[in-house]
Structure 1
Amino acid sequence: MLGLVSGNTPEARGRVLDLLRRASPDALVLSVSVHGDEAGPYPFVQRFAAGGDGRWRASLSQAATGDPAVIIRQDLGAIARAAPCSHVVLALPDNMDTLPFLAELWRTPLGRTPLSDHYDLAPLVVGVDPGRLLSDLRCVHRAAHIFGDHPHTVPFTLAEAAARQVEAAQVMVLREGGAEDDGRLEGSRALLAHLNPSAMILLDGEERDSASLTPLTRPDSGWAAAGPADRLDVIAPAIRRRGIDRGVASVLWRSRRPLHPQRLAECLPRIMPAVVRSRGHLWVATHPDAVISWRSAGRHLELRQAGSWLEDGDTGAWRAASPERRTLASWHWHDYYGERRNEIVFTGAELGEERLRAALDTAVLDDRELALGADHWTCLPDPLLGTGTQGPEG
């Protein structure tokens, strides 16, 4: 079995490891750090092993230069061949974009044995320091260089990196502070529940026996149906938490009409100030065949071309899509427009749901514009993506 641990501070990650050691005392913990090497094409990857069989600790506690996913995949394969029934906990650093890294780690190179033949995946557990979380989610003026599905770092804002980390989790362990931090703790707990509604949230300070910690070490059956790569599909089901918790709410906006990019740009100042995080995909009139991903964290918004809409008769594209994507396309299929649609989830405090929906509804094409067809749409002014461009801007 392979467990996965991360955290937004070393202390938060260390506390999760303490809980896992209580639940599985014989587990081998493989801690990883990755540092960019400006002089070469690959980063410096340090591994340190603790627990488990002492013979493996010496061979794994070393450094190497190369692709982190390749190095760690080799380590895990060697451990599995030597100790087929071992429980391994992989502790990832906070400069790792977890889901893309796991997708690459879990990918099977040609001629190699899949890791899934050796390991069942336990939940990804993320330790969260509430003070650091709230601070990072507000930070859009500093870049965090994060490793993901390739050996080179990609720059994100600190806010985007923090949001991605908690959204990847299946279990979150929220560290408690003193009595003076009660309000911040409860606010952070409410925010985490909206950022990742499907995750379990545990409070670190609550007394737990070994039996109560078994969800941290139990294999997650969901990985068998949908691996890490499938979770990266830009067309994913929108999951939002209903209701308002400590002033935090989530709003889901959908539309089956393409967006007028200029009107969308004009309405952004009215909808974004109260938004802490938003994610989704767009159907933009000037790029009718492209899926445009929408991500915001803090006051930073990124729109990016992220693939193409599935088309009727394109067998290759349908086979390459994840099972979840194919199912969603079938549910939402339109005889003329196919799977094209807009879908965004906004999370924040005092969002003003009616105002937000009304602003976005004014940005879609009206009946007259819709009737003109895609040839006319591509000529509309586009201050966000640029008319006729293929790459992302903004």
Structure 2
Amino acid sequence: MSNSDPITAARRTPVDSRPAVTVLAGFQPTATAAVARLLQIADPRLVSVGHDLSRVRDGVVRRVVRTAAEVLEDEAVTLMHGCVSCTLREDVLPTLVRLSRARPGADIALLLPRVVEPEAVAGACAHCEVDGRPVTDAVRFDSYVTVVDAEHLLADLTSADDLRHRDLHAAADDDRAVADVVTRQIEFADTTVLWGGPAVEGYDLARAGVLLSRLAPWATQVVVDASRRVDCTDLAARLRHTGRHNPRVPGMNGRALEGYAIAVHSPEPDCGVVSMLFEARRPFHPGRLHAALSTLAAETLRGRGQLWLATQPDTAIAYESAGGGVGMGSLGHWLAALPAAHWAVASPDRRATADLAWDAAFGDRRTVLAFVGLDFAADSLAALLTDCLATDRELGPGARLPDPFADRFPLTVIDPED
């Protein structure tokens, strides 16, 4: 029998005995908890881990670990510092490792508090160790599932509230907006659960489904009608042991740089939902872009992507908008602005993306922006962005453009001789 025989190969494949972790996120905790209960009904051995952050600003969180039949732990945990990242490092990840040892045959459902973004969990897993070993030595993160309550989705996406307005902020300096948290929970998911009920009419449920598919086109969408009897076994089969999580996929701010799609271009309304992509190799005029930001945020529910400014040609800039607010930050250097020796620090995906789209004049510099919203005119928004691009004259020798973004995106100085 040859070594290529599939039966022999299967026998030689090592079995992954690590407990599988399904991460459940969502801004409406009732819906998220309901999904967890349904999964535990389908598998009574499944262990759920949840944390109550209502006292986190005082340095105390409450941890609850349970199966379908019993509460295994219900403890108040005192942290060195009261914040989300400390909760992850000091209790959430150690608890997952501890449970993997104490109950090696049981998978885990990790219920995130409503203000925790799943990307923070993935980031902590990538950089934190427990007992001197990576967390992923003990458990495997199978899927990141975001549960979305259709009844509240649109209100949360259009809310101008900060978490502080609802007394949900996790720290004194937590100034995140509700819409920011909701969109980031959805965008990081590899699976979304659209939770509907008797209060959600057919059109509203359909619109919520389209919104989810535009906000996270890479995610598998599962619809649950909570007004009817739910098949727990079927739901568990669609949410667990899917292997959908890919740790190589970057967070939203880095997706376009790494060559991943950040949206689908669907400019015609579907249930009123519009999604558009805008791409350009020419940089933005900083003054005109600054003047257009309020319009971009007001006309859409979500904006995201990367851009570059004529006055700051070395810097890749991240763009985000949600809830009427805009956020921008540095993504570091464009590769074209770095000495060749420094390219090695970039990921293979980023280097390949730069090579494929390399421009003789601009290198890998390019703008890729996506906008999702309700009944906005995609053509008009694209025209506004096009008008914000710098002209040949403005890019010519000796041109001096006023820059409202000056000193906003500092970069580490690179020695060109290095």
After the TM superposition, which residues 199-348 of structure 1 pair with which residues of structure 2 at under 5 Å, given as runs? 199-205=219-225, 207-208=230-231, 210-211=233-234, 213-220=236-243, 222-223=245-246, 226=248, 233=254, 235-236=257-258, 237-243=260-266, 244-268=269-293, 271-311=296-336, 312-316=338-342, 318-319=344-345, 321-348=346-373
Aligned residues of 1:290 and 1:308 also touching (Cα < 8 A):
yes
Distance verdict in 2 for CA 1:198–1:177, change over 3 Å: same
Partner of residue 108, structure 2: 88
Distance 1:285 1:190 in 2: 36
Distance 2:96 2:320 in 1: 33
Q: CA shift at 1:254, angstroms?
A: 0.5
Distance verdict in 2 for CA 1:315–1:217, change over 3 Å: farther
After the TM superposition, which residues 1-394 of structure 1 pair with which residues of structure 2 at under 5 Å, given as runs? 1-35=20-54, 38=57, 43-51=59-67, 57-58=72-73, 61-66=75-80, 67-70=86-89, 71-109=91-129, 112-144=132-164, 154-178=174-198, 181-205=201-225, 207-208=230-231, 210-211=233-234, 213-220=236-243, 222-223=245-246, 226=248, 233=254, 235-236=257-258, 237-243=260-266, 244-268=269-293, 271-311=296-336, 312-316=338-342, 318-319=344-345, 321-372=346-397, 379-383=400-404, 385=405, 387-390=406-409
Distance 1:303 1:81 in 2: 43
Higher mean displacement: 171-180 or 91-100: 171-180
Three-state SS of the structure 1 residue aligned to 2:298 is coil
Q: CA shift at 1:185, angstroms?
A: 1.8
**Residue identity matched to 2:35:** V
Partner of residue 416, structure 2: none
Partner of residue 11, structure 2: none
Three-state SS of the structure 2 residue aligned to 1:368 is helix
Distance verdict in 2 for CA 1:363–1:314, change over 3 Å: same
Q: CA shift at 1:317, angstroms?
A: 5.4
Q: CA shift at 1:31, angstroms?
A: 0.9
Q: CA shift at 1:381, angstroms?
A: 1.2
Higher mean displacement: 330-339 or 232-241: 232-241
- State the superposition RMSD in angstroms: 2.9
Distance verdict in 2 for CA 1:180–1:128, change over 3 Å: closer
Distance verdict in 2 for CA 1:182–1:153, change over 3 Å: farther
Three-state SS of the structure 2 residue aligned to 1:264 is helix
Distance verdict in 2 for CA 1:211–1:390, change over 3 Å: closer
Q: CA shift at 1:197, angstroms?
A: 0.8
Q: CA shift at 1:140, angstroms?
A: 1.7
Give the gaps of 5 or more residues in structure 2: 1-19, 81-85, 412-418
Higher mean displacement: 329-338 or 286-295: 329-338
Aligned residues of 1:16 and 1:125 also touching (Cα < 8 A):
no
Distance 2:280 2:103 in 1: 52
Aligned residues of 1:248 and 1:349 also touching (Cα < 8 A):
yes
Distance 1:308 1:131 in 2: 42
Aligned residues of 1:170 and 1:198 also touching (Cα < 8 A):
yes
Distance 1:317 1:24 in 2: 48
Highest CA radius of gyration, 1 or 2? 2
Distance 2:370 2:201 in 1: 29
**Residue identity matched to 2:67:** G
Distance 2:105 2:201 in 1: 42
Q: CA shift at 1:203, angstroms?
A: 1.9
Q: CA shift at 1:219, angstroms?
A: 4.5
Q: CA shift at 1:251, angstroms?
A: 0.5
Matched residues, percent identical?
A: 26
